Amino acid sequence: MASRPRARALIGQRARIQITALLPLTGWAVHATALHRRLAAARRDALTGLHSRPGYVRHATRLLNRRRDPVLLVFLDAVGFKAINDGYGHDVGNAVLIAIASRLERWVGGDGVAARLHGDEFAAVLTCPVAERAQRLRELHRLLHQSVDVDGKAVAVAVSIGASSPSDLHSRDYTHLLRGAEGAMYQHKRERAGLYRIATPGHASEPAVNGRRLGRTGTTPHPLTQERTR
């Protein structure tokens, strides 16, 4: 009879040891789950809910690594966005950014990814056969150039669009294709004609200052620097 209490005590002791051993594992599992959620949130833009740059790079690289799929990269920049912020206020500016994001995500569909890269710059990547590209880009232009209704005000929206694909630039390197799409977008922005621009190899090799295309804020040489280089 005396052995039964001793046996129960041993069983209880083993259970306590097992529970104690599991506690650190449980803690790590909770920590890992929380970390995963934070990382997932970090890949999303807080204002628009689109992917941020890291998530966009990951998805674009994955699509480009599928050698047989026709991939289209698009780079967008809102035209006159500062005037919207200055004239209507930042709340209206945010509403315009959210509308652009929603339209871009709808246009991309389920097989691609839309992203907000910085400020009023957006990007998208999707599979798109070259034969369908012109139609898809015309549709994107139409979607993005619809006015946005904010508290009864119709706010006009305009967006410059540049696009690139491996068949145009003879490369499946993400950085090269993004530079091409960005260069094509800036040509579209400068010329203010047509619905979009398709990148050529020249767009991907245009000069930059500190990683920024010439003509953007912060790329104009300082007068003193110009004097020293004469």
Angle between helices 174-191 and 53-65 (to 10 degrees): 110
Q: How far apart are CA 156 and CA 89, in angstroms?
A: 14
pLDDT at 6: 59
pLDDT at 5: 56
- Distances in Å between the alpha carbon of 69 and those of 63, 82, 170, 171, 213? 7, 38, 14, 13, 29
pLDDT at 3: 55
pLDDT at 68: 80
Cross-strand pairs, 73: 125, 164
- SS3 string of 117-180? EECCEEEEEEECCHHHHHHHHHHHHHHHCCCEEECCEEECCCEEEEEECHHHHCCCCHHHHHHH
In the block, tokens 């599979």 appear at 127
pLDDT beneath 50: ranges in the chain: 17, 19-41, 209-211, 217-230
Q: How far apart are CA 226 and CA 230, in angstroms?
A: 7
pLDDT at 65: 92
Cα end-to-end distance, the chain, whole Å: 104
Structure tokens, 103:
């339209």
- Distances in Å between the alpha carbon of 11 and those of 5, 79, 121? 10, 73, 64
Q: How far apart are CA 123 and CA 163, in angstroms?
A: 9
